Amino acid sequence: MSEQDAVAMSERAAVLDVQNLRVAFRTGRASTQVVDGVGFRIEPGQCLALVGESGSGKSVTARSILGLAGDSAHVSADRLRVGSRDVLTLGNRQLRAMRGADVGLVLQDALVSLDPLRTVGREIADALRLHTRLTPSERSARVLRVLADVGVPEPHLRARQRSGELSGGLRQRALIASAIALEPPLLIADEPTTALDTTVQEQILRLLERLKSEGTGILLISHDLAVVGRIADTIAVMTDGRIVEQGPATQVLGDPQHEYTRLLIRAVPAGRPRGTRLAPTPTPAATAPTAQHDRSVGSSPKGPESSDDTRGGTISAPSRGLGGAGDTMPAGSAALEARGLSKSYRSPDGSRRVVVDDVSFVLERGRTLGLVGESGSGKTTTARLALGLTAPDAGTVTLGGAPWSILNERLRRPERRRIGAIYQDPLGSFDPRRNVREILADALTSGRSASGAGGRAALARSIAELLDSVGLATALADRRPLHLSGGQRQRVAIARALAPDPQILVCDEPVSALDVSVQAQVLDLLDELQQERGLSYLFISHDLGVVQHMSDTVAVMFDGRIVETGPSADVFARPAHEYTRRLLEAAPRIG
Amino acid sequence: MTFLADAAGSPGPGSAGGAEALHSRPHERGGGVWRAVRWAATRVAGAVFVLWAVATLIFFGIRLIPGDPAEAILGGPGSRATPEALAQARAEFGLDQPLFTQYLHELGRLATGDFGTSYALKVPVGQVILDGLGSTLVLTVISLAVAWLLAIALALWATRGGRVAAAVSTVLEIVAAAVPNFWLGTILILPFSVGLGWLPAISTPGIPGLVLPVLTLAIPLAGFLGQLMRESVLNALDAPFTVSARARGESETGVRLIHALRHAALPAISLSGWAFGSLISGAVVVETVFARPGLGRTLLNAVLIRDIPVVIGVVMVVALVYIVVTIATDLADRIADPRLRQQGGDR
Which residues in chain B have Cβ-Cβ distances shorter than 8 Å to A350? 31
- Contact call for A126 and B248, based on CB within 8 A: yes
Residue A310: is its pLDDT beyond 60?
A: no
Number of neighbours of residue B142 by Cβ within 10 angstroms:
18
Strand order in the sheet with A242-248: A103-106, A186-190, A217-222, A47-51, A234-239, A242-248
- Contact call for B247 and A153, based on CB within 8 A: no
Output the pLDDT for position A298. Answer: 36
Output the pLDDT for position A7. Answer: 52
Output the pLDDT for position A275. Answer: 77
User: What burial letters (b/e) apply to A33-61, b meaning 16+ CB within 10 Å?
Assistant: ebbeebbbbbbebbbbbbbbbbbbbbbbb
Q: Is A466 helix (H, G, I), strand (E, B) or coil?
A: helix
Contact with chain A for residue B246, Cβ under 8 A: yes
Q: Is A357 exposed, middle or buried (0-12, 13-18, 19+ CB in 10 A)?
A: middle
Best residue in A118, A221, A349 for a mutation probing chain B (most B CBs within 10 Å):
A349
Number of neighbours of residue A148 by Cβ within 10 angstroms:
20
Contact with chain A for residue B306, Cβ under 8 A: no
Which residues in chain B have Cβ-Cβ distances shorter than 8 Å to A111? none
The type of residue at B183 is W
Q: Are B176 and B183 in contact (CB under 8 A)?
A: no
Task: Read off the pLDDT band of A580 (50, 70, 90).
Answer: very high
Percent helix / strand / coil, chain B, rounded to 5: 80, 0, 20
Q: Are A565 and A361 in contact (CB under 8 A)?
A: yes
Calpha distance A116→A119 (Å, rounded): 8
> CATH homologous superfamily of domain A333-430+500-586?
P-loop containing nucleotide triphosphate hydrolases (3.40.50.300)
Nearest CA in chain B to A66: B247
Task: Read off the pLDDT band of A285 (50, 70, 90).
Answer: very low
Q: Are B286 and B181 in contact (CB under 8 A)?
A: yes
The type of residue at A290 is T
Which residues in chain A have Cβ-Cβ distances shorter than 8 Å to B262? 117-118
Residue count (chain A): 591
Decide if the complex's ipTM is over 0.85.
no
The distance of Cα B26 from the centroid of its chain, to the nearest Å, equals: 40
Phi, psi of A496 (to 5 degrees): -65, -40
- The tens digit of pLDDT for each residue in A516-550 reads 888 999 999 999 999 999 999 999 998 888 999 99
Calpha distance A105→B206 (Å, rounded): 55
Output the pLDDT for position A9. Answer: 52
Contact with chain A for residue B258, Cβ under 8 A: yes
Query: For B63, how many CA atoms within 13 A lie in the half-sphere containing its CB?
Result: 10
- The tens digit of pLDDT for each residue in A60-77 reads 999 999 999 888 889 999
Going residue by residue through chain B, which has 347 residues, state the pLDDT in tens, using 9 for 90 and above.
333 333 333 333 333 333 333 343 344 445 567 777 888 888 889 889 999 999 889 888 877 777 777 777 776 666 677 778 778 877 777 777 788 888 888 888 888 878 888 877 778 888 888 888 888 888 899 999 999 999 988 888 888 777 787 788 888 888 887 888 777 877 777 777 767 767 776 766 677 778 888 888 888 888 888 888 888 888 888 889 999 999 999 988 889 888 998 888 888 888 888 888 888 888 888 888 888 888 888 888 888 877 888 888 888 888 888 888 888 888 888 888 877 766 544 33
Name the minimum distance, in Å, from the CA of A342 to any CA of chain B. 22
Residue range A278-287: average pLDDT? 57
The distance of Cα A506 from the centroid of its chain, to the nearest Å, equals: 19
Calpha distance B290→B309 (Å, rounded): 25
Phi, psi of B249 (to 5 degrees): 105, 10
Strand partners, A345: A353
Name the minimum distance, in Å, from the CA of B177 to any CA of chain A. 29
Query: For A140, how many CA atoms within 13 A lie in the half-sphere containing its CB?
Result: 9
Nearest by CB to B240, from A96, A113, A166: name it: A113
For β-strands A16-27 and A73-76, DSSP reports them as antiparallel
Contact with chain A for residue B5, Cβ under 8 A: no
Q: Are A282 and A524 in contact (CB under 8 A)?
A: yes
Task: Read off the pLDDT band of A313 (50, 70, 90).
Answer: very low
Output the pLDDT for position A41. Answer: 92
Q: Are B16 and B29 in contact (CB under 8 A)?
A: yes
Output the pLDDT for position A317. Answer: 38
Contact with chain A for residue B347, Cβ under 8 A: no
Output the pLDDT for position A425. Answer: 83
pTM: 0.77
**Domain residue extents for chain A:** 113-183, 333-430+500-586
Calpha distance A141→A57 (Å, rounded): 39
Q: Are B258 and B180 in contact (CB under 8 A)?
A: no
Q: Is A476 helix (H, G, I), strand (E, B) or coil?
A: helix
Nearest by CB to A164, from B7, B243, B342: name it: B342
Calpha distance A424→A471 (Å, rounded): 19
- The tens digit of pLDDT for each residue in A296-308 reads 333 333 333 333 3
Best residue in A98, A113, A178, A210 for a mutation probing chain B (most B CBs within 10 Å):
A113
- The tens digit of pLDDT for each residue in A472-508 reads 988 888 988 888 888 899 999 999 999 999 999 999 9
Q: What is the dihedral of CA B60, B65, B67, B73, to 10 degrees?
A: -60
- The tens digit of pLDDT for each residue in A76-93 reads 999 999 988 999 999 999
Calpha distance A553→A572 (Å, rounded): 10
Output the pLDDT for position A136. Answer: 92
- Contact call for A112 and B240, based on CB within 8 A: yes
Calpha distance B22→B149 (Å, rounded): 37
Comparing C-alpha atoms, which of A526, A539, A522 is closest to residue A487?
A522
Which residues in chain B have Cβ-Cβ distances shorter than 8 Å to A132? none
- Contact call for A164 and B336, based on CB within 8 A: no
Q: What is the dihedral of CA B200, B205, B211, B214, to 10 degrees?
A: 120
- The tens digit of pLDDT for each residue in A461-478 reads 999 999 999 989 888 889
Output the pLDDT for position A290. Answer: 41
Name the minimum distance, in Å, from the CA of A534 to any CA of chain B. 44
Nearest by CB to B4, from A103, A148, A162: name it: A148
Which residues in chain B have Cβ-Cβ distances shorter than 8 Å to A66? 246-247
Q: Is A219 helix (H, G, I), strand (E, B) or coil?
A: strand
Nearest by CB to B22, from A126, A156, A165: name it: A165
Residue A349: is its pLDDT beyond 80?
A: no
Calpha distance A505→A496 (Å, rounded): 11
Which residues in chain A have Cβ-Cβ distances shorter than 8 Å to B338? 117, 162
Output the pLDDT for position B26. Answer: 40
Output the pLDDT for position A42. Answer: 95
Nearest by CB to B15, from A107, A148, A160: name it: A160
Task: Read off the pLDDT band of A96 (50, 70, 90).
Answer: very high
- Mean pLDDT across chain A: 85
